Amino acid sequence: MHFLFKTRYEQDIALFKHGGQRFWYAALAVALLAAPWLLSEYTLSQITFIGIYAIVCLGLMLLAGFTGQVSLGHAGFLAMGAYTEAYLQANGWPFVISLPLAALVAGITGVMIGLPALRVKGLYLSIATLAFGFILEQAVVSTEAITGGNAGMQLGKLVIAGIDFDDGSNFYYLVTFIAVLCVLGVVNLLRSPTGRAFVAIRDSEVSAQSMGINLAHYKTVAFALSAALAGIAGALYAHKIRFITPDQFGFLQSIELLMMVVIGGLGSIQGAIFGPAFWFVVQQLIVTGKDWLPEALGQQTGLQPTIFGIILVAIVLFEPLGLYGRWLKFRTFLEIFPFYRKGMFRRQKSYMKSERMK
């Protein structure tokens, strides 16, 4: 176990808390750089997808996991990003400008969808965002002149500074680079006053206000940033798929995104990456495992949603902190072996108000 002897306040705001962390993140960086040489084209493509989904999940984590505003309409923001990118590219805009614009358009949509959050909370907010998600999907269908409606929209070749980014490994590098920037941005937010204001709003709105936090302002910022991240992911998604239709951004997509975040572990940045990674791995396992199952089971249509549903229920019941929480426990177990005891992570049950009576 690491016992950190802190000698300077800087240590608490440093990106890496100790040398070990720096080592592992450096190792991860090397692995990410080397991946195109080590992995098959198919695997690399799956990892690219994980990167894209990690960006959306990061945004959703910021909103649901850190600010406590659950959104069931995130696929709508993904659509805004994807269609903005497709439209701008078709009109000859370069990627370095169209990507930020995709983020901006999605961010502005986020501000609008966040408006109900200033009035309603919890379940009612979720339903409001759900409705907005449907409206956005319909809007895409009906603005046929721009989006091609149900017929969909084809994206052109992605070329930046003369380099072909439709190529698998180039596109992988692009996605990884952008994902890393997004992670850094969110980490920065969370170690500064804005992130603390988000957490304060999540945990107690009354006392957040009484500490001088403007609820309306920070909820709006949270929605805007979350949607902007989804917009970035949407633009990358459009290039990855190369052909976008409204039904890719429906209600089910929103639900899946939320499930990824919950499975990864609400309230942790790592969870936003673990979630989609786990999702794709399990999906792969299901596809491969299908052939091994008895036909009656393997060929069932609802197999995949059922399995994910069961996993979700199990996580909510047994590991509310998600995969990241599980990983933390496992790591502690290794570090302090053999001193780990069951229940070490259990929080004290709610306090007794009548301690005085004892």
Partner 1 sequence: MTTPLLEAVNLSVHFGGLKAVNDVSFDVWPNEVFSLIGPNGAGKTTIFNLISALYRPTAGEVRFEGEVISRMPPHVVARHGIARTFQNIELFEHATVLQNLLVGRHCHRHTGWWQDLLFTGSVRRAELEFRRQVEEVIEFLDLQHYRDSMVAGLPYGVRKVVELARALAMRPRLLLLDEPSSGLNTEETEDMGFWIEDIKEDLGITVVMVEHDMSLVSRVSDRVLALNLGEVLTLGTPEEVQAHPGVIEAYLGGTADV
Count each helix (H run) and each strand (E run) in the chain, helices first.
16, 4
Instruction: Check binding of 1 to partner 1 (CB under 8 A).
Output: no
- How far apart, in whole angstroms, are the C-alpha atoms of residue 79 and residue 336? 46
Query: What element of type H or E holds 302?
Result: none
Residues from 256 through 315 that contact partner 1 (CB under 8 A):
267
If one asks whether residue 341 binds partner 1 (CB under 8 A), the answer comes out as: no
The interface region with partner 1, picked from 139-147, 202-210, 230-238, 272-280 by CB under 8 A, is: 202-210
Its sign, for the CA torsion 318, 324, 326, 329, is negative
Residue 192 interacting with partner 1 (CB under 8 A): yes
Taking CB under 8 A as the criterion, the residue among 103, 105, 197, 257 binding partner 1 is 197
Q: Which of 96, 145, 206, 297 binds partner 1 (CB under 8 A)?
A: 206
Beta carbons of 234 and 81 less than 8 angstroms apart: yes
| 188 lies in the site for partner 1, by CB under 8 A | yes
* Residue 2 interacting with partner 1 (CB under 8 A): no
Q: Find, among 39, 24, 53, 13, the residue nearest to 271 by Cα.
A: 53
The minimum distance between CB 193 and partner 1, in angstroms, equals 4
From the CB of 269, what's the least distance to partner 1, in Å? 14
One residue of 203, 285, 300, 331 binding partner 1 per CB under 8 A: 203
Interacting residues of 170 by C-beta distance below 8 A, sequence separation 6+: 163, 164
Complex with partner 1: residue 168 or 185, whichever CB lies closer: 185
Does 58 participate in binding partner 1 (rule CB under 8 A)?
no
Instruction: Report the C-alpha gap between 95 and 159 in whole angstroms.
Output: 8
Burial of 114 (0-12, 13-18, 19+ CB in 10 A): buried
Angle at which helices 168-190 and 193-203 pack, to 10 degrees?
70
* C-alpha–C-alpha distance, residues 172 and 51, integer Å: 8
**Contact flags string 101-140 toward partner 1, x per CB under 8 A:** ----------------------------------------
Q: Is residue 320 near partner 1 by the rule CB under 8 A?
A: no
194 binds partner 1 (CB under 8 A): yes
Q: Which of 183, 185, 280, 328 binds partner 1 (CB under 8 A)?
A: 185
Give the 3-state secondary structure of residue 114. Answer: helix
Q: Considering the complex, what minimum distance in angstroms separates the CB of residue 331 from partner 1?
A: 17
82 near 97, Cβ under 8 Å?
Answer: no
Does position 3 interact with partner 1 (CB under 8 A)? The reply is no
Residue 15: closest CA among 179, 7, 24 = 24
Would you state the structure tokens that stand for residue 71, as one six-digit string?
A: 């959104």
Residues lying near partner 1 in the complex (CB under 8 A): 9-10, 12-13, 185, 188-189, 191-197, 199-200, 202-204, 206-215, 221, 225, 267, 347-348, 351-356
